[in-house]
Amino acid sequence: MFLTFLLLILNALQTAQAAFIPVSRSSSSSSSNSSEITLSQLDAIINGTTCPLKGSESLDECRTAAQALPFVNKGFSDYNITSVGEKAALLSLMSFESGGFQFNINHFPGNPGQGTRNLMEFPAVYQYALSTPFLSNQTLALLPNLKKHKGRTSYASLSSLPNTLSNQTKNAIRAVVLGDGLSFASAMWFYTQSGATQIGQPGQGCTQIAGLVQGLQAQTEAGWEHYITDCVGTTVTDERREDYLRTLKILNGNT
Ligand SMILES: *[C@@H]1O[C@H](CO)[C@@H](O)[C@H](O)[C@H]1NC(C)=O
Ligand SMILES: *[C@@H]1O[C@H](CO)[C@@H](O)[C@H](O)[C@H]1NC(C)=O
Ligand SMILES: *[C@@H]1O[C@H](CO)[C@@H](O)[C@H](O)[C@H]1NC(C)=O
Ligand SMILES: *[C@@H]1O[C@H](CO)[C@@H](O)[C@H](O)[C@H]1NC(C)=O
Ligand SMILES: *[C@@H]1O[C@H](CO)[C@@H](O)[C@H](O)[C@H]1NC(C)=O
């Protein structure tokens, strides 16, 4: 029984390795009206965060614009996100959630397993930790009852498992994706590839939601509201809207 299960997992892992190519997302020239984010743009977006920030409890998590810039641009490039409107939505979310890149995990109130620069929660963090083949073994090794429930293929399920995990395990899984290369790309991954139902088969993220991509690319407030509500799954607030509009202006060069 257990051997069968193990083989299933190994199969899943092999699929994961074979399939680790970001979902093809065509970047047509009409939607591609931005070049790389510049240092001064990023610095303006995060309000000139300096590290360590005076009085900050999370000194090792803090990143300046100069430190973050290469990872931010690589994240957009790896996931083929090229329009100003999409970049502004994702970047303002990241800056808002992380306090201008001061934080990499949720400190207030300290929600277990919640982290990376867009402060994703479970099960997204868990899916993200399984999404790269190099890390999926490490992530699976953290699952505690792997040997106890013989033959339960549900352990390869991406949606049901996290409910059974302890806070400690959630934090250990989160730790897998806290490095700069992953934490600054999680918003891009979530937008384009979250929602997988099986290991090794990336989901389509929010790009499958009707009109969502087009709304962001057109840089409309309604498009951004659609993103916040139906993709991120949170509530539109004046603070979030201000951050988005400010970021949009900065990226359009109208500051
Ligand atoms: C990005 O878009 C280009 C142009 O459409 C396409 O050739 C490429 O495969 C895409 N890459 C990814 C990772 O989706
Ligand atoms: C940056 O400053 C603007 C304007 O005061 C404010 O709306 C925004 O919330 C600040 N963002 C961060 C991440 O501190
Ligand atoms: C796990 O975290 C939740 C949310 O912070 C908390 O309410 C709960 O007491 C924690 N459980 C344990 C066993 O510490
Ligand atoms: C994951 O673990 C399996 C089984 O030990 C191994 O064959 C495979 O090479 C590992 N994958 C990576 C990317 O390390
Ligand atoms: C960028 O492209 C979008 C969608 O095509 C368009 O609505 C917007 O006006 C363009 N912005 C700039 C600065 O060219």
pLDDT in the model for residue 15: 36
- Residues 130, 136 contacting (CB under 8 angstroms): yes
Confidence of residue 198 (pLDDT cuts 50, 70, 90): confident
Dist. CA 105–CA 239, nearest whole Å? 20
41-61, pLDDT tens digit by residue?
Answer: 999 999 999 987 666 565 689
pLDDT in the model for residue 234: 97
Ligand sitting nearest the alpha carbon of 140: 4
111 CA closest ligand 3 atom index? 5
Whether ligand 4 lies within 6 angstroms of the CB of 135 is answered as no
Confidence of residue 79 (pLDDT cuts 50, 70, 90): very high
136-166, pLDDT tens digit by residue?
Answer: 888 888 886 554 344 433 344 565 666 678 9
Dist. CA 184–CA 164, nearest whole Å? 28
Whether ligand 4 lies within 6 angstroms of the CB of 199 is answered as no
Q: How far is the CA of 26 from the centre of ligand 5 (A)?
A: 17
Whether ligand 1 lies within 6 angstroms of the CB of 29 is answered as no
Q: Please choose from 24, 28, 76, 192 the residue to mutate so as to test ligand 1's pocket, defined by most ligand atoms within 8 A of CB.
A: 24
Burial string for 172-199 (b: 16+ CB within 10 Å, else e) reads bbbebbbebebbbbbbbbbbbbbbbebb
Dist. CA 5–CA 7, nearest whole Å? 5
Confidence of residue 133 (pLDDT cuts 50, 70, 90): confident
137 CA closest ligand 4 atom index? 1
Residue 97 counted as domain residue = yes
How far does the chain reach from its first CA to its final CA, in angstroms? 63
Residue 59, both tokens: 């000194």
Does this model's pTM top 0.95? no
pLDDT in the model for residue 155: 41
DSSP single-letter state for residue 157 = B
Residue 64 counted as domain residue = yes
Amino acid at 138: Q
Q: For residue 232, what are the domain limits?
A: 2-9+36-251
Dist. CA 74–CA 80, nearest whole Å? 10
Confidence of residue 201 (pLDDT cuts 50, 70, 90): confident
Dist. CA 119–CA 121, nearest whole Å? 6
208-217, pLDDT tens digit by residue?
Answer: 999 999 999 9
Residue nearest to atom 14 of ligand 5 (CA): 33
Residue 28 counted as domain residue = no
Residue 74 counted as domain residue = yes
Q: Please choose from 167, 171, 174 the residue to mutate so as to test ligand 3's pocket, defined by most ligand atoms within 8 A of CB.
A: 167
Which of 107, 28, 116 lies closest to 72, judged by CA?
116
Confidence of residue 9 (pLDDT cuts 50, 70, 90): very low
Residue 138 counted as domain residue = yes
Q: How far is the CA of 218 from the centre of ligand 5 (A)?
A: 6
pLDDT in the model for residue 21: 43
Query: What's the domain count of the chain?
Result: 1
The percentage of the chain sitting over the pLDDT mark of 70, rounded to a whole number, equals 76
Contacts of 134 (CB under 8 A, 6+ apart): none
Ligand 5, pocket residues at CB < 6 Å: 30-31, 33, 83-84, 217-219, 252
Output the CA angle 237-239-244, nearest 5 degrees.
Answer: 95
Confidence of residue 33 (pLDDT cuts 50, 70, 90): low
Ligand sitting nearest the alpha carbon of 14: 4
171 φψ region: left (φ > 0), alpha (ψ -120 to 50), beta (else): alpha
Residue 214 counted as domain residue = yes
Residue 14 counted as domain residue = no
CATH of the domain at 88: 1.10.530
pLDDT in the model for residue 17: 36
pLDDT in the model for residue 157: 56
pLDDT in the model for residue 161: 65
Residue 26 counted as domain residue = no
- Residues 38, 158 contacting (CB under 8 angstroms): no
Mean pLDDT of 128-141: 87
pLDDT in the model for residue 141: 84
Q: CA of 84: how far to CAs of 37, 40, 250, in Å?
A: 10, 16, 10
Output the CA angle 29-34-39, nearest 5 degrees.
Answer: 160
99-125, pLDDT tens digit by residue?
Answer: 999 999 999 899 999 999 999 999 899
